[in-house]
Structure 1
Amino acid sequence: MRWIVLALLCCAWNAHGVIRIPLRRMLSVRTQLRATHRLEDFMRDHQPDVFNRRYAQCYPPGTPSLRLDKSSERLYNFMDAQYYGVISLGTPEQNFTVVFDTGSADLWVPSSYCVSEACGMHHKFKAFESSTFNHDGRMFGIHYGKGHMLGIMGRDVLKIGPVTVLNQEFGESVYEPGFVFVMAKFDGVLGLGYPSLAEELGNPVFDSIMNQKAVDQPIFSFYLSKSKRSGDPEGELLLGGMDEALYSGPINWNPVTLKSYWQIQMASLQVQGASSFCPHGCQAIIDTGTSLIIGPTHDILALQQLIGATPTSIGEYLIDCARLSSLPQVTIVLNGVEYVLTAESYVRRELMGDREICFSGFQADDLPSSVDPLWILGDVFLSEFYSIYDRGQDRVGFAKARHTRYTEMDGGMDR
């Protein structure tokens, strides 16, 4: 009973303008494909593709962008997205599960008019049932490798936890290509990037929340749990602040270098303190929408060798599970602070039938960048370190995540 009361208090707490959004952890689409022995067929049929390349052009050729003066490239990684939460749209409320994604800035959910198989597997927005819906009429599109998502724009009441956002712009997808969307456990995506990243005219969701002063601070933060114990939180998004119960030690703040993605400077990445990648500095995107750490092909191939990972025919890298204790540490240096990842952090263990298989948490992709080499720090990194996103001072903070929030010793929060 104590655990139930604590959980209810945590979900409802809105003290001092801080909004708690519980997150649930799911099996990634990649893991589901492995389990059904369909990953090899999928990768063969979709290379090169966005799900392998990790970025997308947001409009199919010939479709005018809603933002004519900006680039139409964004990061998406639906194949490995693992954490999602619940929002509602319309009056009366229609509930949807969404990935809270710092690698994009738009909100979209499936439409009741969607004709794709994927939409039949998910909750669909019924505009005709909402008394507060306003039709926009503009089209949006996101290009995904061999197909593209298409949809229409609208405005309606959005609810996230206890907060109500009036007249929020969002997209209704009417066509979702490919098998990946069929397998996805979430309905849509809620982007938390900068407005310059958005393809939809109007304010991204967090900008709307800030504008209506629903939070005391222009900050949000993520806690992504690694625990599989019953009663432990799977993850949490806090809008308006941070929770000291979820991290320990000081916060290391990193200035945003480009106000689009949450992009910062990465000084280096080292293996066992010796081999160093990007010794002259790189750019790193902090992306809650991907579970992997992504880097340039040349660097990642060398890194895979150093950690003893062997390639498969479809680009996956396997590691001998019996060798985890002897594998080297990987250290990421951000603003003078070393963030150490052990093999238990960067190796992903998965059960295939009755056999445990270990996969490398690093993947190669040569992402377009006009400056330094570009890396992506996804959930392999973010599940170890509590992350704070400060729009007021344009910075990202990290502190060691505290993965034992509740203790039997004192019967409450472990602070």
Structure 2
Amino acid sequence: MKWLVLLGLVALSECILILPLRKVKTLRETLREKKLLNNFLEEQAYRLSKRDTNIATHPLRNFLDMVYVGNITIGTPPQEFRVVFDTGSADLWVPSITCESPACKTLSTFNPQNSSSFRKAGQPVTLVYGSGLIRGFLGSDTVRIGNFVSLNQSFGLSVEEFGFDGMPFDGVLGLAFPSISLTGARPIFDNLWSQGAFSEPVFAFYLSKSKPEGSVVMFGGVDHRYYKGELNWVPVSHKRHWQISMNRTTMNGEVVACSRGCHATLNTGTSVIYGPKEMVTNIHKVMKAKPKDSQYVVSCDAVNTLPPVIFNINGIDYPLPPQAYIIKVKNSCLSAFRGGLEALSPDTWVLGDVFLRQYFSVFDRENERIGLAPAV
């Protein structure tokens, strides 16, 4: 069974009017205007780079290269759940025992009455993702990720779920910036940070290829065994999603997308790569891909002849070989590129697991930057 997983792209249903205020420029903005930001980020050396002993590594299970899932517990005594660690959203939720949607029938559900530390907030919540939506209510309890303990952690409890049928996970743990939290609650990473759980407010992902074991999310630093060479740091361009600026995308030395620069979000909750429809069409022309049932079919032999798709980010090329962007499903092969997603702005890409399997990724909240290096 194959899943197309698209979490993290959240659609807000409310419009907020914000009156303009005179804004004082931050150091980051001033440096960016003077083109000094990259030098500044390089000078802020990763203080844990030589001290791997402070790193906490949490295993993730790879389900058919479509979604990566890790275990957490909620409550006293702890109740265990499988969640997607999603850099594209900021909320934590799991199914409530009162959920009657078909998607909840085969999932682990949280029973508040079995937890002595549970507190019900009662506030109704609706969380919208690219894959579907959930409706429920807010509560708070003790949440554990391995040895990390987040006290009084707010989280959502779903009573209705749409679009999550057959998924191999119970809920989602968002790791994006607090500004995109739809519940208004402090995300678990921020809660742990404020409680002094780690000496450096960073997390990182290594996503395995093909095999179910070996993938990890790590907190508090980086483990150098998971990547080759040096980390290249890219400043975050928008503090909502983990968004960065991208210079261009090329194949065979020709620019096929992003010719005037564009944006990209790094999203561990998305299985493929999304881009503006016209740009993805250019890539599919080079691939000689043909449309079929809202996807694009490619000759399986093309994996040996097609060039890499090269994303140039912050002046550095990140090649994506055809072995990565061509997905074999039974006797056919599909393109990992998707176009025309309505939630995207005209110049924004979503680089999902197809990209992140090739590149070890570090998300540095304190310095508002992302580190990338070839994965081992």
TM normalised by structure 1 equals: 0.75
Distance (whole Å) between structure 2 residues aligned to residue 136 and residue 159 of structure 1: 20
1:358 counterpart residue number? 333
| Aligned CA-pair RMSD | 1.9
1:132 aligns with 2:117: yes
1:256-275 correspondence runs (5 A) = 256-275=236-255
Matched position secondary structure for 2:113: helix
**Does the aligned pair in 2 maintain the 1:288–1:379 contact within 8 Å?**
yes
Percent sequence identity over aligned pairs: 40
1:325 counterpart residue number? 304
1:290 counterpart residue number? 270
2:361 counterpart residue number? 387
Distance (whole Å) between structure 2 residues aligned to residue 157 and residue 309 of structure 1: 49
Q: 2:145 aligns with which of 146, 149, 160?
A: 160
The change in CA–CA distance for 1:144 and 1:190 in structure 2 (over 3 A counts) is closer
1:65-76 correspondence runs (5 A) = none
1:25 aligns with 2:62: yes
1:307-357 superposed Cα distances (whole Å, 9 cap, x missing partner): 121111x21111111221111221000011001111101111122xxxx32
**Does the aligned pair in 1 maintain the 2:256–2:282 contact within 8 Å?**
no
1:137-286 correspondence runs (5 A) = 137-143=122-128, 148-177=133-162, 180-228=163-211, 233-286=213-266
Matched position secondary structure for 1:172: strand
Structure 1 residue 297: deviation in Å?
0.5
The change in CA–CA distance for 1:133 and 1:295 in structure 2 (over 3 A counts) is same
Instruction: Report the count of equivalent residues.
Output: 326
1:315 aligns with 2:294: yes
Structure 1 residue 201: deviation in Å?
2.5
User: What amino acid sits opposite 1:274 in the alignment?
Assistant: E
TM normalised by structure 2 equals: 0.83
Structure 1 residue 202: deviation in Å?
2.8
1:293-304 correspondence runs (5 A) = 293-304=273-284
Matched position secondary structure for 2:155: strand
Distance (whole Å) between structure 2 residues aligned to residue 215 and residue 142 of structure 1: 29
1:291-313 superposed Cα distances (whole Å, 9 cap, x missing partner): 1111000111121111121111x
Query: 5+ unaligned residues in a row in structure 2: which ranges?
Result: 1-50
**Does the aligned pair in 1 maintain the 2:86–2:176 contact within 8 Å?**
yes
User: What amino acid sits opposite 1:23 in the alignment?
Assistant: L
Distance (whole Å) between structure 2 residues aligned to residue 269 and residue 168 of structure 1: 41
User: What amino acid sits opposite 2:63 in the alignment?
Assistant: M
User: What amino acid sits opposite 1:224 in the alignment?
Assistant: L
The change in CA–CA distance for 1:15 and 1:366 in structure 2 (over 3 A counts) is closer
Deviates more, 1:118-127 or 1:319-328: 319-328
1:48-80 superposed Cα distances (whole Å, 9 cap, x missing partner): xxxxxxxxxxxxxxxxxxxxxxxxxxxxxxxxx
Distance (whole Å) between structure 2 residues aligned to residue 256 and residue 364 of structure 1: 23
Matched position secondary structure for 2:199: coil
Query: 5+ unaligned residues in a row in structure 1: which ranges?
Result: 1-13, 29-80, 403-415
1:343 aligns with 2:326: no
The change in CA–CA distance for 1:170 and 1:286 in structure 2 (over 3 A counts) is same
Structure 1 residue 116: deviation in Å?
0.8
User: What amino acid sits opposite 1:384 in the alignment?
Assistant: Q
Distance (whole Å) between structure 2 residues aligned to residue 275 and residue 201 of structure 1: 41
Distance (whole Å) between structure 1 residues aligned to residue 134 and residue 202 of structure 2: 31
Distance (whole Å) between structure 2 residues aligned to residue 385 and residue 376 of structure 1: 15
The change in CA–CA distance for 1:132 and 1:97 in structure 2 (over 3 A counts) is same
The change in CA–CA distance for 1:172 and 1:247 in structure 2 (over 3 A counts) is same
1:230-252 superposed Cα distances (whole Å, 9 cap, x missing partner): xx843100011111000011111
